[in-house]
A and B are shown apart, each in its own frame.
Chain A
């Protein structure tokens, strides 16, 4: 169910936790480079996603996840 409403929900988690403007949350945006997110920010972001989507993300699944698009793909794969 990778529709617009799903991405909106994903994006609002990013806006809330990372305190970035919604328009910067685009698939090609890198967390460290474009969204100024450090490793603790990412942990918080994943927690927010787990809660919002009622999913569980294992720490090992986050390896190699560097962009918004990759994170979104990981979330939608669990829905």
Chain B
């Protein structure tokens, strides 16, 4: 594979050796992928069966916001999947994203402030709500002492975290990085309805029908979700030398900004086009070499049209098969990019593309080959994964099958 083509300097190859998932359609990689190929859950996509006590002692659970619990749980599964961590701690990093961090904790403590006064606000509020709490918890639990940072770029944060983690290994700073993202901004707090759900509802970004239908003519907004996913990235040669199971290879990544509007995508998807082109260039690939696109596909009228136009501009009409797992998962905001990267990894492993649930009638303005109805077999090749976030943040990853 043309992994190093087009680069002025040599860089290291980056393997994916472990994945972990907490999602509304299943916790753990097998349940998750089965969920992606099954009918969607209904309504707001909460992770109903999450058991924090499987990952935390009671005191830790009490002192860790739900988004950071998802971060640690996903990381724990990914680390176990990778067969443990054996790299030098100072060359082991954590790059873990979130959109808003500990919103539930903030909402709960605002309630305390109003009802009981300032003297009763928890001293744990700051370390629980801060956006970097998930990354910090991962580095502390596993003693990872290299770079530990959080990317906060709304719905692009997961994809951009993985891109940054990829860079740290490719450029030689780290031998291993635990990366991914998590979000938990939608749960009611006691008697109070969720402020996150209220805010997204009032933005009119959310579906009023409650059905996620990416690329469908009747799509009317996203269905909000929560979750988290983690990947273990390692120096490819090191992973091979230790006999690790290699799921695939991160071939390239890119990040751009629309510089246009705080929530609406640039017309024609200009920022997305630039990002996809840069990711292909970074991977040393031409558009014709991309076997499949895991789209951002949120089910909002504006995103899906702009993304389709951008894909056509880069890949032609209709371009490679596209899917949006958000038909099943809903839109888990910053967690989405990591969930989708794991979906790509599992698609490569299982040689099948999960369908876009909820899509019944393709929007006539959208000229894409969208996988619908049933999972579609595909010959593993480089896959592009897109994420676009409020703020005009664009993130793309190119992930390919393992190749010695």
Residues on A facing B (Cβ under 8 Å): 18-19, 36, 40, 43-44, 47, 50-51
Is the CB–CB distance between B122 and A44 below 8 Å? yes
The CA of A43 and the CA of B57, in the complex, are separated in Å by: 20
Is the CB–CB distance between B120 and A19 below 8 Å? no
The CA of A29 and the CA of B191, in the complex, are separated in Å by: 37
Contact of A40 among B58, B116, B120, B123 (CB under 8 A): B123
Contacts of B119 in A (CB 8 A): 47, 50
Contact of B376 with A by CB under 8 A: no
Is the CB–CB distance between B120 and A44 below 8 Å? no
Contact of B59 with A by CB under 8 A: yes
Is the CB–CB distance between A44 and B59 below 8 Å? no
Quote the shortest CB–CB distance from A19 to chain B (angstroms): 4
Instruction: For the complex, count residues of B whose C-beta is within 8 A of A.
Output: 11
Is the CB–CB distance between A19 and B59 below 8 Å? yes
Contact of A44 among B57, B58, B116, B123 (CB under 8 A): B123
Is the CB–CB distance between B57 and A40 below 8 Å? no
The CA of A36 and the CA of B129, in the complex, are separated in Å by: 23
Is the CB–CB distance between A51 and B120 below 8 Å? yes
Quote the shortest CB–CB distance from A51 to chain B (angstroms): 7
Quote the shortest CB–CB distance from B122 to chain A (angstroms): 7
**Given A19-B57, A47-B119, A40:B62 Cβ within 8 A:** no
Quote the shortest CB–CB distance from B59 to chain A (angstroms): 4
Beta-carbon nearest neighbor of A20 in chain B: B59
Contacting residues of chain B (135-159) with chain A, CB-CB under 8 angstroms: none
Quote the shortest CB–CB distance from A61 to chain B (angstroms): 14
What are 16 A-B pairs with beta-carbon distances under 8 A?
A18-B59, A19-B57, A19-B58, A19-B62, A40-B123, A40-B124, A40-B127, A43-B123, A44-B122, A44-B123, A44-B124, A47-B120, A47-B123, A50-B119, A51-B116, A51-B120
Highest count of chain B CB atoms <10 Å: which of A36, A44, A50? A44
Beta-carbon nearest neighbor of A48 in chain B: B120
Quote the shortest CB–CB distance from A20 to chain B (angstroms): 8
